[in-house]
Amino acid sequence: MPNFSAKRQEYDDALPGWQLVKRCVAGPREVRKYNEYLPMPDPLNQTPENIARYEQLKKRAMFLNVTGRTRTGLMGAVFRKTAEVELPSGVEYLLENVSGDGASLEQLCKEATGECLDTGRGGFLVDYPKVQLPEGQTALTVAQAANARAYVHFYPAESIVNWREDVIDGVKRLTLVVLLEKINEATEDGFEFTAKDQYRALMLIDGKYVQRVYSEDTPGGVETIPTDKTGNTFDHILFHFFGSHNNDASIDKAPLEDLAEVNILHYGNSATVEESGFISSQPTLFITTDIQPDEFARLNPNGMHIGSRRGHNLGKSGNAIMLQANETQLARELMKDKEEQMLMIGARIVQQGNGAETAEAVRIRYSSDNSVLGTIAGNVSEAMRLALFDAQRFMMGAVDETGTVFWLNQEFFDQVMDAQAILAQVQLWQQGIIAKKDLRTNLRQAGVLESDRTDDDIDADREADAPVLGSEDDPNNPQGGVGDE
């Protein structure tokens, strides 16, 4: 029987880092579920009193969710503008329902981009639902074919448990991908569910793409051989990796892992500060007296109460003082160091901007973060574009490469374009150095034109406008035929 649940060693090595980042992103309630991130001060003491004290320590510790806030800020930078999308008519339905569950193409890419920030890894599977034909029917009807559509499914890093690449005819090709899927089976009354694991193996066997689904109920696997619209089998696995560095099958560094590590250390320093403050901030009473212990107990049957409502008999030579420890600065200084380190790593969202700082200084300060973010946006875009090609093979037979455009925004800052810069762009177009399409693209990126207005939309609106007076030959008159051929 095949060992379908086998996991690669690289997967096991990377899994704790992925979990750390995702738990930090989820917030303090999730982090407090795991004792490994805040060690018990005396782990050998497992008495109920020590365990209860540890639980109170965790409740007092503050987890400042810098990791989650940074992730939100980086996601907002990518999706501050809509993606450039153009699809052939045969797969236009993917814009609004890319995975069959109602998620739009942009929403699926948001999920993939967030996963790439968390783990530096993920993938898209293109699949076509298997249509069960009624008995006696050998071909799909028109109605059945209209409802059977190819979809793109997103798989996070934790679900990609095994893979293999082999060199075939001098080219490294993906020959195996095993995906772990969670299946919920409803009970008879329909109100409860039982979670079961299912493994989907994508294989390239003798140059032919094959799928096999394994589970405890079907250890031998259920095999299907997907075919394109023309009935031909595929010569490649319809799964496309994306990563924080490149889009091969290897595991890339998780961009947010370093930040999450410092975030957890900051959490530990916070626990020390809060515990120290809780203990040392409470005043402690010390007394000296010549009264014998039994006599002292008789005079103070309820112990010594601190307050002004009652007095205490300390004898003829008694004395009482209140001691309160000064706050310790070491743990607080360590917290400040961690906060500065998190800002250096990329947590700019928690830093208050300097009003005197120029836009160019901001760009330089964040250039390293943006280079990583730009790579992620480009890698997700490229993987999705390849997935859209496979969807076209299912739905159209042929791939329309020129008519397929998908590119996530990589303009993470507003590009301010003043009148002089606009005039310079128009002059470049009039002199034939750039095309009209390039001019409009630059104007969109600068926010002069709305990002979702296509060239066809602009041309259609211009046809309804009255002619614009002016000479095309006059380079100082940008109105003279900006949209003319």
More confident residue, 421 or 233: 233
In order of 6, 57, 426, the CA distances from 432 in angstroms are 59, 69, 10
pLDDT score of 6: 93
Neighbours of 97 (CB within 10 A): 14
Please say whether the beta carbons of 162 and 177 come within 8 A. Answer: yes
Q: How far apart are CA 474 and CA 226, in angstroms?
A: 60
Burial of residue 8 (CB within 10 Å: 0-12, 13-18, 19+) is: middle
The per-residue pLDDT for 140 is 54
pLDDT at 144 over 80: no
Helix, strand, coil fractions of the chain, as percent rounded to 5: 40, 15, 40
Provide the pLDDT confidence category of residue 325 given band limits of 50, 70 and 90.
Answer: low
Question: What one-letter code names the amino acid at 329?
Answer: Q
Structure confidence by residue, pLDDT tens digits, 162-180: 999 998 888 889 999 999 9
Between CA 354 and CA 349 the distance in angstroms is: 13
Q: Exposed, middle or buried, 192 (CB in 10 Å: 0-12/13-18/19+)? A: exposed
CA dist 280 and 258 (Å) reads: 33
Which of 228, 227, 162, 234 has its CA nearest to residue 204?
234
Paired residues of 321 in beta bridges: 286
pLDDT at res. 211: 95
pLDDT value at residue 476: 53
- CA 345/CA 258 separation, integer angstroms: 7
- The Cα 21–Cα 405 span in angstroms is 32
Name the burial class of residue 83, with classes exposed (0-12), middle (13-18) and buried (19+) by CB atoms within 10 angstroms of its CB.
buried
Give yes or no for a contact between 246 and 379, defined as CB atoms under 8 angstroms apart.
yes
Global pTM reads 0.75
Residue 238 has a pLDDT of: 97
What is the three-class DSSP state of 166? strand
Q: How far apart, in Å, are the Cα atoms of 179 and each of 122, 153, 301, 473?
A: 11, 12, 70, 61
Is residue 19 within 8 A of residue 31, CB to CB? The reply is: no
- Cα of first residue to Cα of last residue in the chain, in angstroms, is 67
Predicted local distance difference test score (pLDDT) of residue 332: 64
Mean pLDDT over each residue of the chain, to the nearest integer: 82
Judged against a pLDDT cut of 90, whether residue 186 lies above it is answered with no
Q: Where are the beta strands (DSSP E) in 295-358?
A: 319-323
Mean pLDDT lowest for which of 131-135, 207-211, 253-257, 351-355? 351-355
Say if strands 222-224 and 171-186 run parallel, antiparallel, or are unpaired. unpaired
The three-class DSSP label of residue 152 is strand
Q: How is residue 320 written in tokens?
A: 């009482």
Task: Give the mean model confidence (pLDDT) for residues 156-163.
Answer: 97
Residue closest to 396 by CA, chosen among 92, 85, 86: 92
Asked if the model's pLDDT at residue 403 lies above 60, the reply is yes
Residue range 246-275, pLDDT digits in tens: 999 999 999 999 999 989 988 888 887 777
Quick one: pLDDT at residue 450? 80
Q: Give Cβ neighbours of residue 411 (< 8 Å, ≥ 6 apart).
A: 81, 445
d(CA 247, CA 123): 9
Chain centroid to Cα 179, Å, comes to 19
Alpha helices of 151-232 — where are they, by DSSP H?
Answer: none
